[in-house]
Amino acid sequence: MGPEGKTLLNIIILGFGFMFMFTAFQTCGNIEQTVIKSFNSTEFHGSGYTSMAIIYGVFSASNLIAPSVVAVIGPQLSMFFSGLVYSGYIAMFIHPFTWSFYTASVVVGIAAAILWTAQGNLLTINSTDATIGRNSGIFWALLQFSLFFGNMYIYFAWHGHVHISDNDRQTVFISLTVISLVGSFLFFLIQKPEPEATPSEASESLLQTESTESASIVALDAFSESEFIGCFLLQSVMSATKLTFYSGVYGTCIGAMTQFGDDAKSLIGLSGIFIGLGEILGGGVFGMLNKCNRFGRNPVVLLGLITHFVAFYLIFLNIASDAPIAPEEGTHLQAYITPSVEVALLCSFLLGLGDSCFNTQLLSIVGFMFREDSASAFAVFKFVQSITAALAFFYSNYLLLHWQLLIMVVVGFLGTLSFFVAEWVVVSSRRDTDFDSI
């Protein structure tokens, strides 16, 4: 096998490893608040929202040290050990205790920063300028399939269950732990690229940065990169609020709707499947196929905004306001229309589609704006996104659904405007740049 074939195989293995790991972890995040409400133990006093807030809070701080860890032990071992931590967090739900729940949340936050730093490193050293777009698309598509498979399992495992018993919980989380471990061990199949395989400029920049600068300097240097940083940070906030809602809150809301009948709990998994379908469709159309460049990024971002606003409005009409904070027996309140499973699943699909519209274009413009120091820019992006996600998961414990939707509408509108401004400045100041090469 030639050098190019070996690096392509490495990318595919990387994608499958993350697909297995996040089939387990994203499914865990989607159902954990519902599972916690069903615990038969009076000694457990944890909250899934608080756990996710801790994870993202620690994740944000750990971005300052993660590149140094990856530089010392290498991306392959970094991903393997981080994967073991993810598996431990999932396994904790087999026999949960409050102390182990929150301790695992802290540790997995550290592991997340190391995992994603190593992923970016491995992706770039296995890519050239000609293949970085293709390889990113392959990785994105494989990662998004994790939403599909994990939630399909939940749908069939919990179909017809009104209450999640201890046996149901243990069966699900044992299975998810095994799936996560499979993903971790897949990383050992990744081979070292051939020396003659020329890495991309982004890879060289990342490797040089990790060996000569501390992570804190790397992150801080990005703030002086360009005048676009205000818009960039606002887009990070927008991305984080949406991530929080569709990855944890919305599934809990659906599971709390008693009007959906005995299948309400299994609908959490079905909702995740539809989110995944939206993500895969949008990622394929706007990311891998990349057919919209001649029209610029703004039409795709505008489509994402409209898609999200439609979804938020339908959720507001269809889901009871107290659904995010309802007790284990669910809510008996009704919103403004007769609750409809079909509308709820349509909203799941729209959330995934809208998110993929934003993400594909956000990654594109960040890579273009910070071409010479993309590692610094993405470090800042993850830092701000993680802090915002932690805050969003924290207020999800207390705010009614309509207030959470209002926050996302306001942040989404402002974030989209900031994207339009950034895109306009990019086009105006770099008219001589070959735009189709982005």
Write the pLDDT tens digit of every residue in 104-151.
999 999 999 889 888 877 877 887 766 765 777 678 778 888 878 877
Is 292 a domain residue? yes
Whether residues 154 and 298 share a domain: the answer is: no
Whether residues 79 and 223 share a domain: the answer is: no
CA distances from 87 to 169, 210, 319 (A): 16, 27, 33
Whether residues 295 and 408 share a domain: the answer is: yes
Whether residues 269 and 176 share a domain: the answer is: no
Burial 248-284 (b: 16+ CB within 10 A, else e): bbbbbbbbbbbbbeeebbbbbbbbbbbbbbbbbebbb
User: pLDDT category, 377, cuts 50, 70, 90?
Assistant: low
Is 132 a domain residue? yes
Whether residues 165 and 302 share a domain: the answer is: no
Is 201 a domain residue? no
Is 200 a domain residue? no
The per-residue pLDDT of the chain, averaged, comes to 78
3-class SS letters over 51-94: HHHHHHHHHHHHCCCHHHHHHHHCHHHHHHHHHHHHHHHHHHHH
Whether residues 180 and 230 share a domain: the answer is: no
Is 108 a domain residue? yes
Q: Do the Cβ atoms of 219 and 383 come closer than 8 Å? A: yes
Q: What CA–CA distance (Å, rounded) separates 367 from 209?
A: 16
Q: What pLDDT is stored for residue 434 in this prediction?
A: 47
Higher pLDDT pick, 13 / 378: 13
Q: What pLDDT is stored for residue 384 in this prediction?
A: 77
Whether residues 274 and 422 share a domain: the answer is: yes
The answer to which of 29-33, 92-96, 173-177, 391-395 has the lowest mean pLDDT is: 29-33
Q: What pLDDT is stored for residue 296 in this prediction?
A: 66
pLDDT tens figures, 320-348: 989 888 877 778 888 899 888 899 999 99
Q: What CA–CA distance (Å, rounded) separates 355 from 246?
A: 9
Q: Do the Cβ atoms of 137 and 287 come closer than 8 Å? A: yes
Q: What pLDDT is stored for residue 370 in this prediction?
A: 61
pLDDT tens figures, 282-315: 777 765 555 445 666 778 888 888 999 999 999 9
362 pLDDT more than 50: yes
Is 381 a domain residue? yes
Higher pLDDT pick, 217 / 424: 424
Mean pLDDT of the region 4-21: 89
Q: Do the Cβ atoms of 318 and 337 come closer than 8 Å? A: yes
Q: What pLDDT is stored for residue 436 in this prediction?
A: 46
Whether residues 183 and 261 share a domain: the answer is: no
**DSSP character at residue 95:** S
Q: What pLDDT is stored for residue 272 in this prediction?
A: 83
Q: What pLDDT is stored for residue 307 in this prediction?
A: 92
User: pLDDT category, 153, cuts 50, 70, 90?
Assistant: confident
For 121, the domain range is 1-189
Q: Which residues contact 414 (CB under 8 A, 6 or more apart)?
A: 234, 238
318 pLDDT more than 80: yes
Q: Do the Cβ atoms of 11 and 126 come closer than 8 Å? A: yes
Whether residues 65 and 124 share a domain: the answer is: yes
Q: What pLDDT is stored for residue 207 in this prediction?
A: 45
Q: What pLDDT is stored for residue 42 in this prediction?
A: 61
DSSP string, 315-333: HHHHS-TTGGG--TT-B--
The structure tokens listed for 368 are 């273009």
Mean pLDDT of the region 379-383: 71
371 pLDDT more than 90: no
Q: Comparing C-alpha atoms, which of 435, 430, 367, 377 is closest to residue 132?
A: 367
Q: What CA–CA distance (Å, rounded) separates 419 from 154?
A: 37
CA distances from 79 to 58, 122, 370, 403, 420 (A): 18, 10, 26, 38, 36
Whether residues 423 and 294 share a domain: the answer is: yes
Whether residues 231 and 130 share a domain: the answer is: no
The answer to which of 168-177, 266-275, 361-370 has the lowest mean pLDDT is: 361-370
Indicate the number of domains in the chain.
2
Is 437 a domain residue? no
Which residue, of 189, 210, 244, is where some domain finishes? 189
Which residue, of 142, 171, 189, is where some domain finishes? 189
Q: What pLDDT is stored for residue 403 in this prediction?
A: 93
Is 202 a domain residue? no
Whether residues 2 and 134 share a domain: the answer is: yes
Query: CATH number of the domain that 172 lies in?
Result: 1.20.1250.20
